[in-house]
A = this chain, B = another copy of it.
Amino acid sequence: MPHYLVRKLNHWVCLSADDKQILKELARDVTWFRSNQDAINEGITPRYVSAVLEGWACCYKQLNDGRRHIIAYSIPGDFCNTSIIFSNDINYSVRAMTPVRIARIDRQGIRCAMERSPVIAHAFWLDILATAAIQREWTANIGLRTARERIAHLICEIVIRMQAVGLTDQDSYTLPLTQEDLGETVGLSTVHVNRTLQDLRASGLIEWKRRHLNILNFQNLSEVAHFDDSYLYHSYNNLDIN
């Protein structure tokens, strides 16, 4: 099985063999979480950075009256809490959406690696910036798009992100969400998500059965979504150039 963490970071920069080795050694401490289990809970500050190696996790916030909102997905190669590298605080929880294999990386180790290898440092920077760009897009997605557009947009985003780590087959991929999860992600009720999905299916844009999502017409779907993938790409800014 490929090392998705290395693959993901290698997507931002060009890692040397040494860099890859360093990263693999950093990610030795691996744990399984079963579906629906909390990997990180808002109450307890972790001392390590978690990265998903296999399966899906989500970051979510919960109000004291029970309402919940999913603020991010962590797919293979994604970090769940990079902020821990430089801060002691975390203000969301992380939950396994499938059985998930997570590497727990010593934050001191990451800082050392960043000091020793400028390329690794840059990879972490770009990864953090990419996460922030996605978060901004999600804010706007919920804030200004209709139900149909929101869901279409999310589906488009994920296909690109899954492609980046080689987890797609053409325009189809495993989307291990319930419709309730999807609702908590895009700010819609489960019932309305269901109807909107039927609408997208009836328009011949997608198929989605048994966790398997297939985009029938990416071009049309991204037009429906007003999807512009540029926020998912980050060009390397050569440190020597101003």
User: A: which residues have CB within 8 A of B?
Assistant: 47, 59, 61, 63-65, 67-69, 71-72, 83-89, 91-92, 106-108, 111, 122, 125-126, 128-129, 131-133, 135-140, 142-144, 184-187, 226, 230-231, 233-237, 239, 242
Contacts and interface: CB of A to CB of B under 8 A. Distances in A.
Contacts of A125: 86-87
Contact of A242 (B86, B108, B139, B230): B108
Of listed A84, A107, A138, A186, residue having the most chain B CB within 10 A: A138
Contacts of A106: 242
Q: How many copies does the complex hold?
A: 2
B128 A87 contact: no
Contacts of A140: 61, 69, 71
Contacts of A239: 111
A136 B68 contact: no
Contacts of A187: 142-144
Contact of A226 (B64, B129, B231): B64
B143 A226 contact: no
A193 to B, nearest CB: 13
B126 A128 contact: no
A86 B132 contact: no
A68 B143 CA distance: 9
B86 A122 contact: yes
